[in-house]
Amino acid sequence: MKNHLVQLQELGLRDYKETWDYQQKIFQEVIDSKIRNRREATSKPTQNTLLLVEHPHVYTLGKSGDLSNLLLTEEQLAAKSATFYKINRGGDITYHGPGQIVGYPILDLENFFTDIHKYLRLLEEMVILTLAEYGLKTERSEGETGVWLDVGTPFARKICALGVRASRWVTMHGFALNVNTNLGYFDHIIPCGIKDKAVTSLHVELGKKEVSEKKVKEKLLKHFSNLFEAELQTNQELKAL
């Protein structure tokens, strides 16, 4: 039985490691459920979850990433009130921090489609459609996961990073969209291991001091629901059950 219901949890400002552990717990529960279904020859629906969160300053390095792309020592990290983790997603190094919308879809893709390439492209499309509502033309850059502006020019810059892990068609990790992000923190890494390309944010592109993150989230969720043909169930609805 395919379950298109996705439980939406907005976690607010949350420590990266705490959120990673929470992701891993949900991820493992879904995998265990799938294994149990196979063992018992049953077809009980598996759970889908979308976590939206904002992190204190943190740098994360994917499993195939190069540590030399972090340009800070442990002492310098501490001086900037930042932490660092090597994690089990794809991709290289990135930064998370205040003013950035981070989304972690923990989906059983067998509820939707079994195609990781399509999954990544739909996450990108969700962001592209969202930013189009702000009058920005963003696109993909061939061979470079994420969402960019002015691809193919000397002014190419990334506004959203993606990195995922999948096992038994269950996903974790996800996307990070720069909305009101302090871009100075990207100066201390080679973002995603790509040299000579800049990073930007929505408030910089719009020339605004601050953009409503609540409204950006609403647009992201609308496009997520449409693209994945998913029905979102909110925190409040969950508490009422």
Q: Which residues 6+ apart lie within 8 Å of 179 measured at CB?
A: 99, 100, 101, 201, 202, 203, 211, 213, 216
Amino acid identity, position 123:
L
User: Which listed CATH number (3.40.190.10, 3.30.930.10, 3.40.50.1820, 3.10.310.10) goes with 5-240?
Assistant: 3.30.930.10
Residues paired with 93 in a beta bridge: 61
CA torsion 22-57-185-221 (nearest 10°) is: 50
Say whether 101 sits in a helix, a strand or coil.
strand
pLDDT attached to residue 238: 39
Contact at 8 Å (CB) between 181 and 55? no
pLDDT attached to residue 230: 97
Binding residues for substrate: 89-96, 161-163, 174-176
CA distances (Å), origin 39, targets 35, 42, 47: 6, 8, 18
Contact at 8 Å (CB) between 97 and 70? no
Residue 190 token pair: 């080679």
- Of the residues 109, 127, 190, 192, only one is catalytic, namely 192
In 3D space, the residue among 55, 63, 70 whose CA is nearest the CA of residue 89 turns out to be 63
Q: Is 160 tagged catalytic?
A: no
For residue 13, the tally of other CB atoms under 10 A from its CB is 9
**92 backbone dihedrals φ, ψ, rounded to 5°:** -105, -135
Residue 36 token pair: 């149990």
Locate the domains of the chain by residue range.
5-240
Binding residues: 89-96, 161-163, 174-176
Give the predicted TM-score (pTM) of the model. 0.92
pLDDT attached to residue 66: 83
DSSP classification of residue 189: B
Per-residue pLDDT of the chain (241 residues; tens, 9 = 90+): 799 999 999 999 999 999 999 999 999 999 999 999 999 988 899 999 999 999 999 999 888 788 888 888 889 988 989 999 888 887 788 899 999 999 999 999 999 999 999 999 999 999 999 999 999 999 999 888 899 999 999 999 999 999 999 999 999 999 999 999 999 999 888 765 555 578 999 999 999 999 999 999 999 999 999 999 999 998 654 333 2
